[in-house]
Every structure is written in C-alpha cells, then in structure tokens.
Amino acid sequence: MTYAWGLLASAIPVGVGAVLLFRAGLYGHMHVALFVGVAYGLGLALISFVLVILPVLGIPLTLLWALPSVGLAWGALWFATGRFSKHVESVPASTPASARGLWMRAVWAVGLALLVAKLGLIGVRAMDKPVIGWDAVTTHSLRAKAMYYDQTIARSSLDWIGSADYPLGLPLLELWVNWFQGRWDDTAFKILFPGFLAALLAMLYGALREVVRPLGSLFGAWFAASLPLLVEHATDAYLDLPLAYTTLGTSIFLWRHARTREAHDLLLASAMAAFGVWIKREGAVAFGIALALLALWSVIARAPVRAKPVSTLAAFAAMPALVWVAWAVFRWTALESAPLSFQPSSVSDFFSRALAVAAYASGELWRSSNWNVLWPLFFGVWLFHARRSLDPDILFFTWPVVLTLAAFLATSAGTVMFDFLMQGSTLHRMVLHVAPLAAFSVGLMVGRHWETIRARAPRARG
Amino acid sequence: MVIPSGVAPTIVISGLAVSAADVAYARLQIRSPIAIDEAYLGWAAARRGQPDARSNRRFAIPRELRGGFPRSVWIRLDEAPEWSGTVQNLGLLIVVGESGQPVVIESIALFPAGLLTQSRAWWEALALDDVAEDLAFPLWSLNTVRPVMVGARTLGSIATGVVCVGLVLLVLTRLKPVRPTLSRALAGTAIGLIVCVAMGLVAVAAYLETRAFRVEWAVFGARSSADDYRYMDGFDLVGTAADLNRALPAGTELAACLWGNPRARDLLSRRVRYELYPLRLTPDATLLLEFDEGKTTCRTPDDQLILSGLGYHVYQRQ
C-alpha cells in the first residue's frame, strides 16, 4: 500500500499541473514529454505554496484541510488561466513521428523502454529503504516529521531543528506524501525523488525534441540518465535533485521564450524559478543568474524583435522575488536560530585559496565518477560554439553552468565553505544543480550540428 | 567449504594432476565478513628432470558485500616462475587473526589464459561491487560517488583523456589545409571514440545500479523501515523511540547518553533526534536516556530510574 498511496500522492500534482497547463491552452504548445515534466513541478509548487499559507491563516496543517485548500487554489487558478488564456501557436517538434523509418522507430522504442525500466529500477531503489541521507535526517525530513505531529509549522520546531536557512518547500511536500499514508512513514515520501528525476528527463527529452529528432533526443535523455550522482540523488531525500529540476525548467522556458516571445513561457520559467527558491537557498542564486541572463538577452542580444526589457524582467522576477522576500522576512523576524555563517576571508586568503579551489575543482570534474564524460564534452562543445555565446542556446544553458560554478567556487575560496569544499562534501552536490543543464547543452549543440549535417547531405536535399 | 576461525587456517587440495601450462588464473569465490590483507595460494608441482616446485602467491580478500554476496578474487599464476610442470597439490592459507569469524570458500577454479579470462579478471579488478555497495547505502555517496579505479587511475580520468583526444581530432578537422577525405576520416574516428567511451560508461552505470539494487534488495527488500533502521543503526532505536513515545507525552525533552568518537556520536545524535520526535532531544533535559547498546553511562548515583524497556533506561536527573 505504501507504493499505491505514494503514487497517488505523486499523481495528484501531475494532474493539478496538467489541467492548469491544459486550461491555459498550452497542450500542443509544447512536446507532451515537456508538458508532463513541467506539470509535475507546477503541481508540487502549487501544493507547497498552499500548505505554507494554512498555518498563517490559523488552519491546522492536516490532509483534511489541505485537500480542499489545494482544490480551492487550483479552482481559482483554473478560473484565472481560463479567463486570460489565448490561442497559442504551437512549437512543432523537429520531425513528425510518421517521418521516421521502421528501423529508427524500433531503436527508439527499445531505447525508451529501457529508459522507463531504468527509472522503474531507480524508483524501487528509492522505495526499498528508508531515508538515510544526512541532510534529510538532520533537517528537512525532520522538519516534515515535526509538521506532521505538530499539525502546524511551529516556530519552536524550526528553531530547534537547526539552521533556518533551508526554505520549507520540500518538507511540506514530504508532509503531503505522508498524509496519504495515514502515518509518518520514513520511506514513503522518497517517491518524490524518482519523480523529480523522471520529470527532469521528460523535460529534457521534450525540449530537445523541439530541435532534435526523436532518436537524438532519446540519446540526450540517456546521457543525462547515466550521470551516476544524478541517479544516486533520486534514491534518497536530498534537496539538490529538486533544485536541478527547477534550474533546468527555468532555463528551458527562458530559452523557449527567447524563440516564441510567448508570455506563457516566461511565466512558466518564473514559476520554476520560484519553486527553486522555495526548495533550497541556492535556488536564489540560480534565479539571480537566470534574471541576469534574461536581462542580457532582453537588452543586448540581437533579438529579431527586441523584447521590452522592463516588463519581461518584471514578469519573470515577480514570483521568485515574492517567494524569496516572504521567506527572508519570516526568517529574519520570526526565527531565532542563527543562519549559516559566511564570514568572508581576507583578500590575501582569498587569492591563496582560489588557486587551491580551482585545482581541486577542475581535477574533481575530470577525474570523479560522478559525471562520466559530461564535463569534457560540455567545455569542448562550448569551445566549438564560442562565437555564438549570446545565442539563446548558449546564453540560457551554458552560461548558467559557468556562472553558477564560478559563484560557488568564489564563495568557497572566500568563506568558511572552503573547508567543506576541500573535504569533498559540497562540490559535486553544487555541480549537480547545473549538471542537467550541461547535459542538455551538449545534447542541444550536438543535435543542432547533426541536423545541419543531415540538411546538407544530398539525400536530405532530395 | 567453511574455514573455521583460527589465526591462520589452512586447507589443502591434493591428488590433482593439472598441467601448469594449461592454467593461467585461479579464481576464488569467497565470503569473508572482514577484509583480509594476507592470504596465500600455494602449490606443489612435479617437474621432469628438475626438483619439485613449491611456491605460493599472496593475495588480499575483500569483505563480502552486505547482504552476504560473495566476492571473486582472481590470482594470476602463469607469471610465477615456479608455476610449471604438473600441479599436484593446491593449498590455501588465510591469515585471519583472532577474529572468530568463519570464512566461506564457495569455489576454487582454474582458468586457462585467454581473452575471456583476462577480461573477467580485469573486470573484477575494477572492484565495481565496492562502488555499488556504497551506492546502496547513501551516506557519503550522496556527496560524491566512489571512483572506479583502473590500476592507479580513475576510470573517469581515462575516459576524459580519450574524449579529449576525440575533441582534438575534431578541432583538426576544422583546419583549412586538411583535405576533405582526411577531415571526414578524422571526424569519424573522433566521433567513434567519444561514442564508444560514452556507451561504455552508460553500461558501467547500468551495471552499478543493477548491482546496488541487488545489494539493497538483499539487505532491505520486503522488510519494514524499523528492520532497515535496526540494520543501519546496529540496535533497535526505532523500537525504543516507539516505546518512549507511548510512555511519555509529546514534547517531553530528553537528553541522551551517546557513545563512540565525536563523529559517530554526532551521527547517532542526529538519528536519535529524528527517531524520537515528537519527543525532543536536548542536552539540558532533566530526563536522561541511556542505551544498553552503548555500554556507556552518563548518570550520577543520585539519578532515579523512572522507565525501563528492552535495551534502554530513562533516569530523572537530580
């Protein structure tokens, strides 16, 4: 029954998100895999935002109250999206299914079946053991457990449990899943994590399909699905995989917006960034970088039809900024526990450490078993397309990776984070936030190159 | 065959008549609850026109995988000069010290030289099972996955090197003086290299995940979370937490008497804190929780026992 109730608790967000997207006229606007992948995150984001409001209104945090509250919020959004939805031009997939040969279809079907089987295996791995991960037991799953028993978000519990720097998005979702079990279950809520991986891969495949043929897109999805640390995080309850999911989603919809100019894509990017800010503190960094790149695209890039920078940035920034400000105000005014210390080091310390940090990080990226050959391919592909650095393909997928890594390494060199980095406990988890972006970037650039070669080939011309 | 406990138990297989020229490797399938650094496979061989040869090869035995999975140890014999003639006896000496833990030898097999045998020995030397076991118990593996070692190098560094060669070849194809036919050949070679490496790593990842799943299923599969945690914690913390939550009102504060080095104590305190909730673990509480498991006492003679259960005691501090 754990599986059945867990699947139901995960299916509801997909349904909630899918109906809203459908209502907004976005079915057909994007590949079905991208549609399903983003629906999962959209539904989860809605649920977690609704749940945090209940205690503020003095309503008990129980399933009995949560279900109608989520339903009410969903109904309001359904009504609102219906009023403001308009006909949306669909973004066609690169090739219709009928254009593929029998051989290609067979390979694609086998590849897809194997990928589904792999996800099934990962799902069983996640669900055959209780939560073990340090951060989960120390902070966010304990917070969820406290919310379950307290039936509210008690400030005393938040303070007692530890660093208040962790936002509440994921604990609320773990609480949501466990309500369906009717008891606190140390295993059930982990179903969220293979769900995040499946949704991430679905988004990656669906977005690639808009540029690359089915088989190439499937190779891209397999490439990402074989990154060992990404898969490992789908088997336990850490915050890094969900943040990787929202970071990829944000970039994909900004990239789509750059091509379609549709407000829907911008709003979906904004929703994903807001969810990222609500999941982990580093989500604010991802949001800031995305905002800066969107500003760059709006103002500097040679867009065929120049975007309106202020309204574009405001539309994107509104939701994540609201979440960040609301959480920051609550955190600083209501909680007493000390935030994580980031006492900066001296300038001389910074420069002496920077070399050590750069050497360590570059060595780890090349040598470790976490990323297979992602990083040489990522930097190699970037090198080949360096002249196109302001194209949306590179602007929204390559630069976020580079800037995130640079920001993290600079912070590590300049603060107490240096010790954690050199112990090996933070680097790869930080890299995980942007690894799917890097995998997408490689898939996109190789796919585009391949499509160009095909278009030039005599057979294709004929 | 079970080797009983002892400082250095020995077994001898006699009555063999194996031509050393036909054998290049020995493979032991072995289950040992501890890693053993020092073990010897010895042999006695009759040689025409020469004195009989007696020699041995030293090897190490890795600990069995959790869940009771045996490990394979491949020992190369044909490189030893004394491996010649007709092998009549094989002997196995395992230095286990006073562990008292039995070592199980599931099989000893001899293999001829050949590509298949070498490949199997090479594959085993990658120690992928150790990596898979780490993946099955996500403590450190959520920070970084243990690297797969090929000799002294990591598989990642070798794969990266090959991919970099491929990328350099691709750069060469863009140089103007390169003829189109050469350029196509270079590009084909480069893409072939990169695809082969990527596919190989996908296969290794699939093996690791499948193996991790087998270990997890053997250890955790079809058991309750309480059983799983009992295995991980080494004692029944979940049962204790359930007992205490029945006996004490929610929100009651307890201090716990923990044990081990600072790192182990910190880990344990986090687990106890998580498991006890809605009881709260705080160092200054007036109730003191002691576990039999730790064999550690923090109470004073004045403290009064107020609650006792299987493996734990709660004292009122004075």
Q: Which long-range contacts (CB under 8 A, 24 or more apart) does A112-121 make?
A: A112/A218, A115/A201, A115/A218, A115/A221, A115/A222, A115/A225, A118/A225, A118/B206, A118/B209, A119/A194, A119/A197, A119/A198, A119/A201, A119/A225, A121/B209, A121/B210, A121/B213
Query: Which range of residues forms the domain containing residue B181?
Result: 149-220
Contacts of A231 in chain B (CB under 8 A): 205, 209
Q: Which amino acid, one-letter code, is at A170? A: L
B224/A contact by beta carbon, under 8 A: no
Q: Give the CA radius of gyration of chain B.
A: 28
Burial of B179 (0-12, 13-18, 19+ CB in 10 A): exposed
Cβ contact, residue pair A130, B147, below 8 Å:
no
DSSP classification of residue A196? H
Residue A429 belongs to a domain: no
Residue A296's pLDDT is 92
């984001």: which residue's tokens?
Answer: A45
CA distance A437 to A246: 10
Residue A159's pLDDT is 85
Q: Which residues of B185-221 are buried (b: 16+ CB within 10 A; e: fewer)?
A: ebbeebeebbeebbeebbebbebbbebbbbbbbebbe
Instruction: State how far Cα A20 lies from the chain centre.
Output: 19
Last residue of a domain, one of B220, B243, B278: B220
Q: How many domains does chain B fold into? A: 3
Q: How many domains does chain A fold into? A: 1
Contacts of A227 in chain B (CB under 8 A): 205
B115/A contact by beta carbon, under 8 A: no
Which of A88-97, A437-446, A447-456, B88-97 has the least mean pLDDT? A88-97
Residue B246 belongs to a domain: yes
Residue B139's pLDDT is 85
Contact A203/A74 with Cβ under 8 angstroms? no
Q: Which residues is B207 bridged to in the sheet?
A: none
The CATH number of whichever domain residue B18 belongs to comes to 2.60.120.260
CA distance A384 to A452: 15
Residue B141 belongs to a domain: no
By Cβ distance, the residue of A121, A130, A226 closest to B201 is A226
B202/A contact by beta carbon, under 8 A: yes
Q: Give the CA radius of gyration of chain A.
A: 22
Residue B23's pLDDT is 94
Count CA within 13 A, CB hemisphere, residue A172.
27
Cβ contact, residue pair B147, A368, below 8 Å:
yes
| pLDDT level of residue A462 (50, 70, 90 thresholds) | very low
Contacts of B213 in chain A (CB under 8 A): 121, 124-125
Residue B143 belongs to a domain: no
CA distance A58 to A362: 50
């120690």: which residue's tokens?
Answer: B127
């999975």: which residue's tokens?
Answer: B69
Contact A412/A285 with Cβ under 8 angstroms? no
In the predicted model, is pLDDT for residue A410 greater than 70?
Answer: yes
Q: Which residues of A304-339 are buried (b: 16+ CB within 10 A; e: fewer)?
A: eeebeeeebbebbbebbbebbebbeebbeeebeeee
The predicted-structure confidence for A193-244, as pLDDT tens digits, reads as follows 999 999 999 999 999 999 999 999 999 999 999 999 999 999 999 999 999 9
Claim to verify: residue B10 and residue B35 sit in the same structural domain? yes
Residue from B155, B277, B284 to probe the interface with A (highest A Cβ count within 10 Å): B277
* Percentage of the residues of chain A whose pLDDT score is greater than 70: 92
Query: Which range of residues forms the domain containing residue A287?
Result: 2-82+105-335
B144/A contact by beta carbon, under 8 A: yes
By Cβ distance, the residue of B145, B194, B217 closest to A128 is B217
CA distance A455 to A444: 16
By Cβ distance, the residue of A129, A149, A380 closest to B278 is A149
Claim to verify: residue B169 and residue B96 sit in the same structural domain? no
In the predicted model, is pLDDT for residue A460 greater than 50?
Answer: no
Contacts of A373 in chain B (CB under 8 A): 156, 159-160, 163, 194, 197-198, 201
B152/A contact by beta carbon, under 8 A: no
Claim to verify: residue B198 and residue B234 sit in the same structural domain? no
Contact A293/A400 with Cβ under 8 angstroms? yes
Claim to verify: residue B93 and residue B7 sit in the same structural domain? yes
The predicted-structure confidence for A18-43, as pLDDT tens digits, reads as follows 999 999 888 888 999 999 999 999 99
Residue B294 belongs to a domain: yes
Residue B280's φ and ψ, nearest 5 degrees, are: -115, 130
Residue B135 belongs to a domain: no
Alpha helices in A226-346 (DSSP H): 228-233, 240-260, 263-279, 282-299, 309-334
Give the tokens for residue A178: 């466990």
CB atoms within 10 A of CB A373: 24
Last residue of a domain, one of B118, B141, B160: B118
Binding-face residues of B in 276-295 toward A, CB within 8 A? 277-278, 280, 282
- CA distances to A49, A249, B38, B93 from B97, in Å: 60, 57, 10, 12
Residue B139 belongs to a domain: no
Residue A113 belongs to a domain: yes
By Cβ distance, the residue of B137, B143, B220 closest to A425 is B143
Contact A26/A35 with Cβ under 8 angstroms? yes
Identify the H or E element spanning B257.
Answer: strand B253-257
Q: Which residues is B65 bridged to in the sheet?
A: B69
Residue A247 belongs to a domain: yes
In the predicted model, is pLDDT for residue A461 greater than 50?
Answer: no
- CA distances to A87, A356, A450, A451, A454 from A457, in Å: 37, 48, 11, 10, 5
Q: Please give the model's pTM, rounded to 2 decimal places.
A: 0.93
CB atoms within 10 A of CB A429: 22
| pLDDT level of residue A166 (50, 70, 90 thresholds) | confident
A105's CB contacts (< 8 A; 6+ apart) are A97
Cβ contact, residue pair B155, A369, below 8 Å:
yes
By Cβ distance, the residue of A130, A372, A375 closest to B201 is A372
Residue B186 belongs to a domain: yes
Q: Which of B212, B245, B274, B260 is nearest to B66 (CA)?
A: B212
Q: Which residues of A31-46 are buried (b: 16+ CB within 10 A; e: fewer)?
A: bebbbbbbbbbbbbbb
- Nearest residue of B to residue A142, measured between CA atoms: B274
Q: Which of A370, A363, A355 is nearest to A418 (CA)?
A: A355
Claim to verify: residue B200 and residue B285 sit in the same structural domain? no
Average pLDDT, chain A: 89
Residue from B155, B157, B160 to probe the interface with A (highest A Cβ count within 10 Å): B160
Claim to verify: residue B81 and residue B21 sit in the same structural domain? yes
Last residue of a domain, one of B220, B239, B264: B220
Binding-face residues of B in 175-194 toward A, CB within 8 A? 194
- CA distances to A191, A248, A279 from A141, in Å: 13, 24, 13
- Nearest residue of B to residue A220, measured between CA atoms: B198
Residue A418's pLDDT is 86
CA distance A313 to A130: 42
Claim to verify: residue B239 and residue B279 sit in the same structural domain? yes
Cβ contact, residue pair A121, B210, below 8 Å:
yes
> Three-state SS for A385?
coil
- Nearest residue of A to residue B159, measured between CA atoms: A373
Claim to verify: residue B165 and residue B243 sit in the same structural domain? no
Kindly report the CA angle at B293 between B291 and B294, in degrees rounded to 5? 80
Residue B311 belongs to a domain: yes
Instruction: State how far Cα B144 lies from the chain centre.
Output: 16
Give the tokens for residue A137: 């037991």
Burial of A386 (0-12, 13-18, 19+ CB in 10 A): exposed
The predicted-structure confidence for A300-329, as pLDDT tens digits, reads as follows 765 555 567 788 899 999 999 999 999 999
Residue B66's φ and ψ, nearest 5 degrees, are: -60, 145
Residue A41 belongs to a domain: yes
Tens of each residue's pLDDT in chain B, 318 residues: 666 556 666 788 888 888 999 999 999 999 998 889 999 999 998 888 777 888 999 999 999 999 889 999 999 999 988 899 999 999 998 887 766 678 889 999 999 999 999 999 999 999 999 999 999 998 889 999 999 999 889 999 999 999 999 999 988 887 777 777 888 888 889 999 999 999 999 999 999 999 999 999 999 988 889 999 999 988 999 999 999 999 999 999 999 999 989 988 988 999 999 999 999 999 899 999 999 998 888 988 899 999 999 999 999 998
Instruction: State how far Cα B183 lies from the chain centre.
Output: 47
Give the tokens for residue A50: 């609704």
CA distance B71 to B37: 14
CA distance A81 to A20: 7
CA distance A24 to A20: 6
CA distance B248 to B243: 9
Claim to verify: residue B72 and residue B105 sit in the same structural domain? yes
- Nearest residue of A to residue B157, measured between CA atoms: A367
Claim to verify: residue B57 and residue B73 sit in the same structural domain? yes
Contacts of A185 in chain B (CB under 8 A): 225
